[in-house]
Chains A and B, each alone.
Chain A
């Protein structure tokens, strides 16, 4: 699938908010075409991590190399131009705008209107409910439909890397199934996905590799199958093993 350098390489990343260190020296790698997931409880630092990867927050230390070039601190408006699309926690769709208008906003940085139209057709085929409701205000969509909209909108910028922050949050299990099926389909179309989730069980079905984050650090990292059956998984997720390590064998 990949040849040579990874699409995303993060090394020694440290992120601080004033006196609080949210991310402590994290190394992360995502190869092209993979689905990589970061799982961990609330407050583990996952959101800070991906916001820093996107260039929205400046790290206190460490580097982020995306598609071969080092990513410094960039303006919010330039994130999409880098080839990164972010589906933030809570979806943030524009409730007063129509579904179509929401989607068009995803193509803000694109200049090729014909290709955008072709992409829209593709997405309407992939997300039939959006096609059906394209002229309705997005605020009238259900939670799951809004999540689909947010993902389609993100994809419309033809990103190389799609980052999702807690896509299953607040959604019913059946709806989450649909979303994850969608993500699997998207991946087959060549989009690399970095997925942040609290709900670890979900990601094992589609992720290639999983990082378990707790207290700002990666407690475990490896292939999905490996992590899923790892004996120390629960402990790593909840950060227990760090206390055990601290108190000594």
Chain B
């Protein structure tokens, strides 16, 4: 029984990580119809910022991570994506793929491709008793961070003027602009928010793995992408749900597959995703008004 709760806690915590990643991707897709491959690099660069600031007080480190991710997100938007704002979706996809690789290779050029250890917040690795079950403090923290950020994002979108503008732009960009919603502002805010989400995920990953390496973000976003597609491109709740399900599924499969099949768990997840898409190609929670854009 205890084992089951531990597995569930793990699934929910990893699911939260992927949900947050998928949210960051979904935010950008909502306003720009762009799948941002470079989101992985936001996570990676934030981690290297943590590495660079190691030794500083923890709030400074975290702030540094957030700052780097947000600035990088805004810079990529301004230089690589704004000029392509009216381009077809495939061109946008290629562009984000190129940006992602450029940033990754640039990082490798500067810091090398070897992984580096980073002992960040090791106290979160502690085990604690929670309702009679031994869980890792980090798992609880991850789940709480996930819930808090999700709630904060939801509040922002529903209760603020800017959030309203973003939701309108995500549904019908042209009409929103005709009413006076500023395209540049809305898109910049979306990128900045995605940077914050990426930084949060980055901190949690670094605590969990204790390692920083140039490809760390990429592995995450590949799974998150698929989560976004299964959740329903263009719908934020779909992205979060899809990311969560895919993340949780990898943990559940890890726990319940027979040992010689365990290594293939990602393959099983992706095949399950393909099956879902077969029967529901628009995703689990499809977005409205999506037809003409895609």
A-B contacts, CB under 8 A, total? 63
Cα separation A55 to B183 with both chains bound (whole Å)? 17
Interface centre among B165, B167, B176, B179 (most CB of A within 10 A): B179
Partner of B178, one of A79, A95, A104: A79
Select one of B168, B178, B181 contacting A97, CB under 8 A: B168
Asked if residues B171 and A108 are in contact (CB atoms below 8 Å), the reply is: no
Verify A97–B171 contact, CB threshold 8 A: yes
Partner of B174, one of A76, A97, A104, A105: A76
Q: Cβ of A146: which chain B residues have Cβ within 8 Å of it?
A: none
- A193–B191 Cα distance when bound, in Å, is 39
Residues on A lying within 8 angstroms of B by beta carbon are 56, 75-81, 86, 88, 92, 94-97, 101, 104-106, 108-109, 139, 153, 157
Please tell me if the beta carbons of B164 and A101 are within 8 angstroms of each other in the complex: yes
- The chain A residue sitting closest to B164, CB to CB, is A101
Q: What would 18 A/B residue contacts be, using CB atoms closer than 8 Å?
A: A76-B183, A77-B181, A79-B180, A86-B178, A92-B174, A94-B171, A94-B172, A95-B171, A96-B289, A97-B164, A97-B171, A101-B167, A105-B164, A105-B165, A106-B179, A108-B179, A108-B180, A157-B180
Do A157 and B179 touch across chains, with their CB atoms under 8 A apart? yes
CB of B141, distance to nearest CB on chain A (Å): 33
Task: Assess whether A108 is in contact with B181, with CB atoms less than 8 Å apart.
Answer: yes
The reply to whether B177 and A76 contact each other, CB–CB distance below 8 Å, is yes
Q: Chain B contacts of A139 at CB under 8 A?
A: 288
> B215 near A: Cβ within 8 Å?
no
Closest residue on chain B to residue A137 by CB atoms: B288
Chain B residues, Cβ within 8 Å of A79: 178, 180
Other-chain contact of A105, B168, B183, B287, B288 (Cβ < 8 Å): B168
Question: With A94-B172, A94-B175 in contact, is A109–B289 under 8 Å at CB?
Answer: no
Tell whether, in the assembled complex, residue A77 and residue B289 are in contact, meaning their CB atoms are under 8 Å apart. Answer: no
Which residue in A77, A92, A101 is a CB contact (below 8 Å) of B180? Answer: A77
Return chain B residues, CB-CB under 8 Å to A88: 175, 178
Please give me the residue from chain A that is nearest to B182 by CB atom: A77
A76-B174, A105-B176, A139-B288 known; A94-B181 Cβ under 8 A: no
B289: chain A residues within 8 A (beta carbon)? 94-96
CA gap between A94 and B172 in the complex, in Å = 7
How many chain-B residues does the 8 Å CB contact rule pick out? 19
Most interface-central of B167, B168, B180, B182 (chain A CB within 10 A)? B180
A106 → B minimal CB distance (Å): 6
Known A95-B288, A96-B289: A105·B179 in contact at CB below 8 Å: yes
Interface majority SS on B: helix, strand, loop or mixed?
Answer: helix
Among A79, A94, A101, the most chain B Cβ lie within 10 Å of the Cβ of A94
| Interface 0/1 of B148-185, CB less than 8 Å to A | 00000000000000001101100110111111111100
With the chains together, A109 CA to B177 CA distance in Å? 11
Known A76-B177, A79-B178, A105-B176; 11 more pairs at CB < 8 Å: A77-B180, A77-B183, A80-B178, A80-B179, A80-B180, A92-B174, A92-B175, A94-B167, A97-B164, A108-B179, A108-B180
Q: In the complex, what distance in Å separates the CA atom of A104 from the CA atom of B179?
A: 10
Least Cβ distance of B6 to chain A in Å?
39
Report Cα–Cα, A84/B165, bound state, in Å: 20
A186 to B202, CA, bound (A): 55
Cα-based distance from A157 to B183 in the complex (angstroms): 18
B56 to chain A, nearest CB (A): 41
- Would you give the shortest CB distance from A163 to chain B, in whole angstroms? 11
For window 39-91 of B, CB contacts with A under 8 Å fall at none
Within the assembled complex, what's the spacing in Å between the Cα atoms of A88 and B289?
16
Nearest CB of chain A from residue B61's CB, rounded to whole Å: 39
Bound complex: CA A78 to CA B180 (Å): 6
* Min CB gap B270→A, angstroms: 30
Residues of A within 8 A of B172 (CB): 92, 94
CA of A155 to CA of B87, assembled, Å? 33
B96 → chain A, closest Cβ, in Å?
A: 25
Docked-complex contact B288 and A108, CB < 8 angstroms: no
A118 to B179, CA, bound (A): 20
What distance in Å separates the Cβ of B189 from its nearest Cβ neighbour in chain A? 15
List chain B residues, Cβ under 8 A from A77. Answer: 177, 180-183
B182 shortest CB reach to chain A, Å:
5
Residues of A with C-beta under 8 A to B168: 94, 97, 101, 105
